[in-house]
Structure 1
């Protein structure tokens, strides 16, 4: 399977930001950050970090190069939970909308927007999963 292959699509960048290809702008921003840290005296191994930035192909490699860590291992469940949650939320939301529309068209009575509760509630749960993963990433990178 292509677990380590970088992604280049918009959906891929949203779902797998750690595997998104690095652009020249990303490299320049990383170099600027390392140079800023060196100027402030917070970066002892700037040359090593700059070399790693030049060869980084994904954002995960670039982030670990900028932070000076050899790599941070993220628990697989924390990486998969937002994606699985998003997929479940989309399916459940679509089923609820179809049921709502079917009941409304068959009976001719629209019983209020009850469909909003599972859609919005599930959306908030998925948002919480995504923000938890991003918070963990920021903590691992030391930002």
Structure 2
């Protein structure tokens, strides 16, 4: 059983049961290798998702506390789209960076690891890259 940094667990080992006729090799069976790849990826990707949830929660709270009209409208993988009046755009960009920094500290404590986060202020969603 493996866990993300904040404690979510992976699916049970039974999903990767190694009891079928999969022939062993010098590196173990193909199922065992697949399970190993899955569990390593689960820890990395799941911990990144934990961090992202903290970013989104922090951003939502910061927008509310600042009394802004900005709204979170889209999130997928590593993209966050916030719709706001042009007059709030620079403030929202700073809040996003601050939320990312705070999330890194909350999730991982003091660490020299950098969590790069870029923002783009655009008038049309299609221009956001």
Q: Please, what TM-score do these two structures have when normalized by structure 2?
A: 0.33
User: Is the radius of gyration larger for structure 1 or structure 2?
Assistant: 1
Pick the structure with more helix per residue: 1
